[in-house]
Structure 1
Amino acid sequence: MDEAQETRKTLVESLVELGNTALGPDTAKRNGAQEQLSYLLQRTQPMALLPALNVAIQPGRVPETVRVEFVSQLAMLPSRDDGVRDTLEFIFSVHPSSHQNDAAAAGWPISPQKQGAQITLEALKMATRLLASPPARTTAKDWFRGIAPQLLALLDGRDGLELAKVAAYVIGFGILGRKSYGAPGAPGWISFAEPMLRSIDPTLSQSASHDDSTIDLRKNATAVLVPENKIIEGLRRLQTLILSHPNPGLTRRLLHPIILPLWALSSWTNASKSCEENYSLPARNLLKVYLKISSSPDKAMPIVRNLLFNGSRDSGKQPQWQFQAADDKQGSIYIVSAPGVFHHAGDILQTRFNDIGPKSETLVDLLAEVLTDDDDISSVFLDLFNRWLSAKKPKRKTAKEIVIPKQEVDNEQISEYGSDALDDILEGIILQKLMEKFPEKLAGRPDHILELVGGLFSQLDETPLAEDETAPVLLSLLNLVITSPGFQRAKADGATLQLIEEGLARIGTASGTEMAEESAKTAKNLLLFLKFRDEIEGPMSTQSNITASSQQQIEDRKTYALAIAYITQAGSPPPVRSEGLNLCQGLILSNSSVLDIPALLIMMSSMLNENEDYINLRVIKIFTLLANKHPKSTTKELLDHYIDSSETKRVDTRLRFGEALLQVVQRLGAIFAGETAQQVGQALLETASRRGFRPKSEAKQAREQRMRDLKAKRKQLGADDNDEAEEQHIDIEDALLTDEERKRNEILNTIVQGWGSKQGSEDVRIRASALSIMATCIEVNIAGLGANLASGAVDLSLHILTMEPELEKGILRRAAIVLILSFVRALYEAREAGRRLGFGLTSQSQEDILRILQYVAGADEDGLVKQHALDVIESLDNWQLASLFPPASESTGMLPAALGGLPSLAGLSLNPARVGTAVTGPTPLASQEIPATTRPRIEEVE
């Protein structure tokens, strides 16, 4: 035992000794021991205390009172300095899933961290439950306040991307994902969400904080509220948290309050390369995610209405804070307190007029990227257009006409008039940009575009339309509508058409400039075509009428295309992919006819191939929904990936497809029969048998064995520095284990190593999985499988029990016994339900099964296998007894034994029909006279 092991052992002995004394019956020694114990706990690092306390709390080592104290101390360790990381790495190092040869089979990418820890999904879930559960000794507020700085520091990624993902998982799922801790104003939200949000908008706070760091935003003097490094840190943390898990609800809760600040940063004018990388790009990524997962396109309207947003205002429209660029060459941005002086529209236009063009272009490009559906773009355009027309003023002023004297107009008048004038200008510019960039998309719905053109003609009646710069765009849009095959004048709104015809007539009379003459010529042609549209097409145009069903198909196609884009788009973050799965699920539930089932199955399979386990649950759910209408195609797709005849998939990937197949079979239920059941059953039996041969796996095993032999030879000749470092590395708990525990761990390691396929045979875990799925198939619908597959499954299980007694095959034998139990249970349930299967267990078969199970129960080295065997033996005994009595469906005329009846035996009827018979028993019934024609008769039978 080296020095490190001796130190760890001494620490455990000291803790046990001091704990027994500090909480023992000797009061004279208690106070001194308590001080020593407290000092020992405080000066020892969490990484050393974690394994020591875990050993000390094992049953039988210390009295219960001491054990309770040690458990409390252990629970509080994460709140100490570096306690969160030490706790995470300790759990990753001792969790059983971290010691598998194929650790990635758990579905989480492994990565060696400090102390050689490996990150698996099972260990991560355990660590999340521990860190997200406040101990009994503290409140949730104090607990999260203590661990939040450590988790947020891990979220920064300086300790590695793997630990950053771990921190995102703990924060997103364990804390902010729970309503009791993650709702706005809850302890978890205050400790984790608010620090990130306040770094982008300092007015966002649900907590009543009055510490020294609080800054009064009402100061007239400009003061730095958030330095540039804090803004960068907040953006980076939000991006890591949101892009690391697919929780659309949490994403909306986090980003909704800071949409405008994110827009200001993402559209920063004249941003340098450093500014673009540190501020604009992260803010733009977050903004895209929010707009994509938003359920309504009007989520973008606040940005449109606040195009020049650069800071927050209070309810009285007084500035509170604003972004400001630093004078350095790095393009830094920080937040300062804005003096309480209102800036009217004229000042804003004078100081930031040059920003309108670039920001409007950036906004239109952003909408083009996130609003892939034509209807969404049309909705944003019409919403903005209706808002622009809603201001009922005698005359709408242009940018050149806005003149607000500073001395003659008070703040209230400026607020009332100037802000509306600025909104008119910004909205008009965005409208023009949208019309120039998306003319075809805006014309997707004729009624919308006609309303748009008619409204513009009525609003601009005092302007020479032919000379207006928007006239060519309006005429182009109108041309797209009235020349489309589906347009019919008779179905258009009469008042709207009248406005359009009047506007076209006025444009047609214009002259003078070249632009006016060109617009006048186009307007005359459109007016003529519009008047005689129906006559030109004739009565055949009525065939273009769109029915309600075809309109629904159009909507479904758009939804399906949007879902596919969300799922398959390169670099699509998890929240967006999750939203795409939601859209697909909705179409499946509505039985939409636009679904391409083969393509959808292939896409779901590609997603199930990935290591995003939280996405996999959603994918498996979609497989089960598809199986309702397409059982054959769905099961075939899952079987192809589960069997993996090309030997390209890892064990964990195949197990995920096995889990999906299992849930599909359970979902099918009684309709799991015919060709589908035969195909599934045959494939499962072949996979579970010992005959499977995988030559590529055998070649890979040979290469790995050669590498191990080469490494062992190098160690014999002399290790290099790296090998010496590996040899010096010792598991943190190994020195604290007893000889019995160390021996047990060696056995477990041998078992895990034996799970991998040997000499090209099928992996034991896959074989056990196939048997488990087959057992479910038998229970779900044994009649659908048929006699051959059911008997073949039982025979295979019996051969496994007798011919594969190796220690590492324990999980396989357990699955085999469970399959036999499922077979017996299925026979019993079919008998009770009165269903005739056409096959069953003969006396000889029952004796053979019992004999093998009795041998296994007495000779197997696996405790669970023994217990399973005893349970099945008991079930078979009960089955033999139950076979002596008729099934419940055939004994409905019998009286229950509790009411004086007896079950019938072969050859003797003890309880003939007793209509009107007086019955006596524990609960006597009302006596009635027995008619002579129904008196019982006793017959002697040889």
Structure 2
Amino acid sequence: MDQKAREKSGRQKLMESIIEAGSKAFSPDVPETSRAQATRDFDDLIERTKTLNVLGALNILVRPGHVPPWLRTRLMEKLTLVPLRPDGVRATLEFVFSVHPSSTVRVSEAAVPQKRGANITHEALTIASNLLSVPPASVTPETWYSAISPQLLVLLDGGEGPELVKAASYVIGFGILGRKTSGAPGTAGWKYFAEPMLNYIKPPPGFSNEVGTEPDEIVDLSKQRILVQHNELVTALRRLHSLVASHPNPGLCKRLLAPLILPLWALASWPEAQPAAAEPVCSSALELLKTYLMLTPSPELVLVLAQNLGYIGGHNKRTPEWVYKVARDGQVQIVDARPRLTNKSDRACRFTLENIDRKTTKLLDLITSTLSDADISTSFLELLKRWLASNHNPKRSGIIVKQGNDKEEDPVAKLTEVKTLQAMMERFPEKLATQPKHILDLVSQILAGPGDSPDGDDEVIGVALSLLNMVVTVPGFQKARVEPVVLALIESSLDKLSKGSTDLSRTANNLRLLLLYRDEIDGDSSTATTTLPTDRQVEDRKTYALAISYITQPDSPAPVRSEGLNLIATLITSHSPVLDIPGILVLLSSLISDADEYIYLRIIKLYALLANKHPRSVTRELTDHFVDAKEMHPLDARLRFGEALLQVIQRLGETFTGDLATEVGNALLSVAGRRGRRPKTEAKRLREQRLQEQRNREAAEAWGGEVPDMSDPMTEEERVRNELLERIVEGWDESKRGMEDVRVRASALSVLGAAIEVNVAGLGQRLVTNAVDLCVAVLQLEREVEKGILRRAAVLFVMSFVRALEEARQKGRALGSGFGKEAQEDVMRTLRYVAETDNDGLVVQHAKDVVESLENWQVVKLLPAESSQQSALGEGLTKLAGLEVDPERSAALQEASLPRPKIEEVE
């Protein structure tokens, strides 16, 4: 007790000292002669106090009413500058995560601040990111980001736990680099967060790293100057990988990795990497390169890698300013290459045939693991066209391939392209044939040349015949899918070649016969041709397969999984017929339990998109998972299903009616009621409780008595507050008594309230009446402290019901059910009682608001409907108590409404 009293008095004394020092420094009554010294004393008090203590004290003092306004402004300024301290970023994160209500989710953690990142929720992370991302007005961006950058980058190293890695990635990725004002190249945010990683992987021109150099150190000019040490390169790669893998933004990933493609390739394909560099350097670079290839599967990128198989560093390919080099201990460094430019023998050894073969194999492994078959085929065609352009003779007019430029070609690059082409044809011919149309177009152009081919064209024709054989022999090939013009051109060219005297004549003749009788080999294909998929279906199937692979691969980083979800969203938006709706629903239901907020928030949006075209399937699927009759889902997953169901119902709008609305409404009522039983969950809870009791007994035996409390000492006020939190959180989990969790019941009432507002008529009179009765019963009977969130949901449901009635009245819509006088009095009496006696402040405030709204509605409903008012106002006032306000218009209206008099001539 003495310790707690000392803690309480310590915090109170600190706040009193801050108020006293601040009053002496900033009070308007203090003379100017003593203000300067008092200001220095105040600053010294803040600086010498521990960061967490300063945060706790200032957070209380800046609340309205605690200190005068002139002092509150100064304290707020000091509070915003806390992250500039050496430990300010970490302390700010700890403070936000420990005090934010959403961060406490378990009883054992309710009273203990989580200093290693446990239970970091999305809401708390957003607040922390806002505090750290935007510099205050009193500090320049240069000063702010230069101070917090080292602290956040250290968290990316992973030494403080994986949760803080995600927290730092969120702050850097979303808060700083995700903003145009701080994340664009040239801004302070980019300078202090992106460049420290990028520059140590790919040094810019004029890069100088003087860290660790002594002033009197002797520099040996005969040796290469080390620009980046091994440990600096490893740190940069590790931090970049942590940021990319933890951040789900594909756009930021592309911006960070696009300048590093060739350096990452050089490190990922390092020949015979020793253990010192294999894991920290080569593996990290390979993972980053794979991530970028998955996000940007372009043929141009494969072409760049094929042309630069032997890249080892620098910005200039022929005369690199710096290169990657392995030290004697196997560590990779970046060294200045300029002193070694005259050593031709050393440069020549970089491009041996053995190295080219080895790197070609690694390139094929890379594209096989990251690109789809269609992307591989497209990349192959681009390489082939480039090779044909380099071998093209101007006299031939058959090959329609344009050369991009007339610059002098690098012979090594040309050799690597040929090696890559050859390796791709040998390794996966079936992948290259996934785009037969493009290949056959190219083959027809090659073979359409004159019969007397000049010297050197046999190699080109041989490649064309190999490609034709590869396409024709693929199972499922059908001549009917080939354009008649292209097919006729190929057949005539083969017939012409088969009559020649070259070595290719026999091959051409065999292909001519194979093409002639190809359809007969697979039997009658007349039925198959009628069910051939369209080009769009083929592309959509490839996109769907790629998206599923991105999502389901266990080692897919966050941006790749996010890109997979984006691909599925694209297919849903375009109403692609290749989508397997039951399969998509199963996939989404399995992913919604993901701990990553970015993933399950996207899943919820995908449910809403699917509901546009498949409302019944999606709504029933979400309802079944939310009810969870088989008790298969954890609490978090059920709440997320409820959130998804809420968005789907809101998107359906007035179409949410009929049997579907009744079915969903009854299911939500059953969950929100008190009679839900969950025996499996109760049994599981009892097993966990027995296991925890056994652990406590073992711990007590090990300590020889009661286990001591290792947490920080608390004040009496904190102890009472935490005991209340423990009681509330423990009361939420009703599974120990086999009942439904209070949080799920509150969620069900919230979703039902949204359905009432969307289309009260679609739910039916009986269901709405039962729902109102349930809310009244909750407010009358379930008065416990831990049931506060349930009573809030019940009060807000009544508000939603009143809004729905008023909207229907304004639109002149008949609901088939009403809110009778007796029911109104019952609800009003209950709400007034709750507003006076409830122990939850939010429930009291909500009840008062609803009572006021009900009273106003009772008055407003006596007026005519809005539609009739608008029509009357639109026609204008014509009479007022017998007085003609507009006689001309009144007469006109009477003439229009009454039959006009007729004058008849009577004989």
Distance 1:786 1:535, change over 3 A: closer
Instruction: Give the conservation status (yes or no) of the 8 Å contact 1:655–1:769.
Output: yes
Distance 1:337 1:841, change over 3 A: same
Instruction: Name the aligned partner's letter for residue 252 of structure 1.
Output: K
User: Which residue of structure 1 lines up, in the alignment, with residue 728 of structure 2?
Assistant: 751
Instruction: Give the conservation status (yes or no) of the 8 Å contact 1:345–1:421.
Output: no
User: Which residue of structure 1 lines up, in the alignment, with residue 478 of structure 2?
Assistant: 485
User: Which residue of structure 2 lines up, in the alignment, with residue 267 of structure 1?
Assistant: 269
Instruction: Name the aligned partner's letter for residue 484 of structure 2.
Output: A
Give the Cα separation in 2 of the matches to 1:338 and 1:311: 12
SS of 1:225's partner is: strand
User: Which residue of structure 2 lines up, in the alignment, with residue 770 of structure 1?
Assistant: 748
Give the Cα separation in 2 of the matches to 1:607 and 1:482: 36
2:411 to 406, 410, 421: 421
User: Which residue of structure 2 lines up, in the alignment, with residue 524 of structure 1?
Assistant: 509
Instruction: Give the conservation status (yes or no) of the 8 Å contact 1:647–1:696.
Output: yes
1:40 to 45, 56, 68: 45
Mind listing any 5+ residue stretches in structure 2 that lack a counterpart?
A: 214-220, 396-404, 900-907
1:692 to 664, 676, 680: 676
Instruction: Name the aligned partner's letter for residue 87 of structure 2.
Output: D
Give the Cα separation in 2 of the matches to 1:800 and 1:62: 41
SS of 1:723's partner is: coil
SS of 1:177's partner is: coil
User: Which residue of structure 2 lines up, in the alignment, with residue 681 of structure 1?
Assistant: 665
Kindly state the Cα deviation for residue 184 of structure 1 after the two structures are TM-superposed.
Answer: 1.7
Instruction: Name the aligned partner's letter for residue 102 of structure 2.
Output: S
Instruction: Name the aligned partner's letter for residue 800 of structure 1.
Output: V
**Superposition pairs for residues 156-175 of structure 1, below 5 Å?**
156-175=157-176
TM-score (norm 1): 0.84
Q: Deviations over 1:385-412 (max 9, x none)?
A: 111222367699xxxxxxxxxxxxxxxx
Give the Cα separation in 2 of the matches to 1:873 and 1:705: 43
Give the Cα separation in 1 of the matches to 2:69 and 2:279: 57
Select between 53-62 and 606-615 the one with higher mean Cα deviation: 53-62
Distance 1:335 1:236, change over 3 A: farther
User: Which residue of structure 1 lines up, in the alignment, with residue 848 of structure 2?
Assistant: 870
User: Which residue of structure 1 lines up, in the alignment, with residue 83 of structure 2?
Assistant: 78
User: Which residue of structure 2 lines up, in the alignment, with residue 787 of structure 1?
Assistant: 765
Instruction: Name the aligned partner's letter for residue 254 of structure 1.
Output: L
Select between 750-759 and 260-269 the one with higher mean Cα deviation: 750-759
Distance 1:196 1:290, change over 3 A: same
Instruction: Give the conservation status (yes or no) of the 8 Å contact 2:673–2:774.
Output: yes
TM-score (norm 2): 0.87
**Superposition pairs for residues 396-795 of structure 1, below 5 Å?**
419-453=409-443, 462-463=455-456, 465=458, 473-474=466-467, 476-477=469-470, 479-480=472-473, 484-486=477-479, 490-492=484-486, 500-501=494-495, 509-510=502-503, 521-530=506-515, 532=516, 550-702=534-686, 723-724=707-708, 727-730=709-712, 734-735=714-715, 739=717, 743=720, 746-757=723-734, 759-795=737-773
Distance 1:102 1:526, change over 3 A: farther
Give the Cα separation in 2 of the matches to 1:470 and 1:794: 77
Q: Deviations over 1:220-242 (max 9, x none)?
A: 97321111111111111111111
Give the Cα separation in 1 of the matches to 2:349 and 2:456: 23
Give the Cα separation in 1 of the matches to 2:113 and 2:433: 53
User: Which residue of structure 1 lines up, in the alignment, with residue 26 of structure 2?
Assistant: 23
Instruction: Name the aligned partner's letter for residue 486 of structure 2.
Output: A
User: Which residue of structure 2 lines up, in the alignment, with residue 513 of structure 1?
Assistant: none
1:14 to 13, 17, 39: 17
User: Which residue of structure 2 lines up, in the alignment, with residue 403 of structure 1?
Assistant: none
Give the Cα separation in 2 of the matches to 1:357 and 1:395: 32
Instruction: Name the aligned partner's letter for residue 237 of structure 1.
Output: R
Distance 1:191 1:933, change over 3 A: closer
Give the Cα separation in 2 of the matches to 1:332 and 1:504: 56
Give the Cα separation in 2 of the matches to 1:287 and 1:895: 68
Distance 1:556 1:605, change over 3 A: same
Give the Cα separation in 1 of the matches to 2:476 and 2:773: 73
Give the Cα separation in 1 of the matches to 2:345 and 2:464: 27
Q: Deviations over 1:228-272 (max 9, x none)?
A: 111111111111111112110000000000000000000111112
Select between 886-895 and 229-238 the one with higher mean Cα deviation: 886-895
Give the Cα separation in 1 of the matches to 2:494 and 2:274: 47
User: Which residue of structure 1 lines up, in the alignment, with residue 774 of structure 2?
Assistant: 796
Give the Cα separation in 2 of the matches to 1:855 and 1:497: 91
SS of 1:312's partner is: coil
Instruction: Name the aligned partner's letter for residue 423 of structure 1.
Output: A
Kindly state the Cα deviation for residue 893 of structure 1 after the two structures are TM-superposed.
Answer: 5.6
Kindly state the Cα deviation for residue 16 of structure 1 after the two structures are TM-superposed.
Answer: 1.7
Q: Deviations over 1:524-561 (max 9, x none)?
A: 3223444x459979998787768997221111111111
Kindly state the Cα deviation for residue 503 of structure 1 after the two structures are TM-superposed.
Answer: 5.0
Instruction: Give the conservation status (yes or no) of the 8 Å contact 1:111–1:118.
Output: no
Kindly state the Cα deviation for residue 794 of structure 1 after the two structures are TM-superposed.
Answer: 0.6
Distance 1:692 1:840, change over 3 A: same
Q: Deviations over 1:397-456 (max 9, x none)?
A: xxxxxxxxxxxxxxxxxx998743222211111110111112122223333333454666
Select between 673-682 and 491-500 the one with higher mean Cα deviation: 491-500
User: Which residue of structure 1 lines up, in the alignment, with residue 216 of structure 2?
Assistant: none
**Superposition pairs for residues 278-317 of structure 1, below 5 Å?**
278-294=280-296, 296-314=298-316, 317=318
Give the Cα separation in 2 of the matches to 1:309 and 1:709: 62
User: Which residue of structure 2 lines up, in the alignment, with residue 407 of structure 1?
Assistant: none
Distance 1:881 1:365, change over 3 A: same
Select between 807-816 and 417-426 the one with higher mean Cα deviation: 417-426
SS of 2:815's partner is: coil
Instruction: Name the aligned partner's letter for residue 388 of structure 1.
Output: W
Instruction: Give the conservation status (yes or no) of the 8 Å contact 2:230–2:331.
Output: no
Distance 1:211 1:898, change over 3 A: farther
Distance 1:140 1:772, change over 3 A: same
Q: Percent identity?
A: 43
Distance 1:277 1:892, change over 3 A: closer
Distance 1:931 1:701, change over 3 A: closer
Instruction: Give the conservation status (yes or no) of the 8 Å contact 1:293–1:576.
Output: yes
Kindly state the Cα deviation for residue 76 of structure 1 after the two structures are TM-superposed.
Answer: 1.2
Distance 1:787 1:499, change over 3 A: same
User: Which residue of structure 2 lines up, in the alignment, with residue 228 of structure 1?
Assistant: 230
Q: Deviations over 1:107-145 (max 9, x none)?
A: xxx99436x975333222211111112122211121111
Instruction: Give the conservation status (yes or no) of the 8 Å contact 2:84–2:144.
Output: yes
**Superposition pairs for residues 169-208 of structure 1, below 5 Å?**
169-203=170-204
Select between 495-504 and 25-34 the one with higher mean Cα deviation: 495-504
Kindly state the Cα deviation for residue 621 of structure 1 after the two structures are TM-superposed.
Answer: 0.9
User: Which residue of structure 2 lines up, in the alignment, with residue 939 of structure 1?
Assistant: none
User: Which residue of structure 2 lines up, in the alignment, with residue 919 of structure 1?
Assistant: 885
SS of 1:837's partner is: coil
Distance 1:565 1:918, change over 3 A: same
Distance 1:523 1:486, change over 3 A: closer
Instruction: Give the conservation status (yes or no) of the 8 Å contact 1:345–1:422.
Output: no
Give the Cα separation in 1 of the matches to 2:676 and 2:350: 79
Q: Deviations over 1:798-837 (max 9, x none)?
A: 1111111222212211211211222222122222212222
Instruction: Name the aligned partner's letter for residue 66 of structure 2.
Output: R
SS of 2:611's partner is: helix
Instruction: Name the aligned partner's letter for residue 235 of structure 1.
Output: L
Distance 1:483 1:175, change over 3 A: closer
Give the Cα separation in 2 of the matches to 1:799 and 1:882: 27
Give the Cα separation in 2 of the matches to 1:86 and 1:660: 35
Distance 1:15 1:651, change over 3 A: same
Instruction: Name the aligned partner's letter for residue 537 of structure 2.
Output: Q
Select between 152-161 and 30-39 the one with higher mean Cα deviation: 30-39
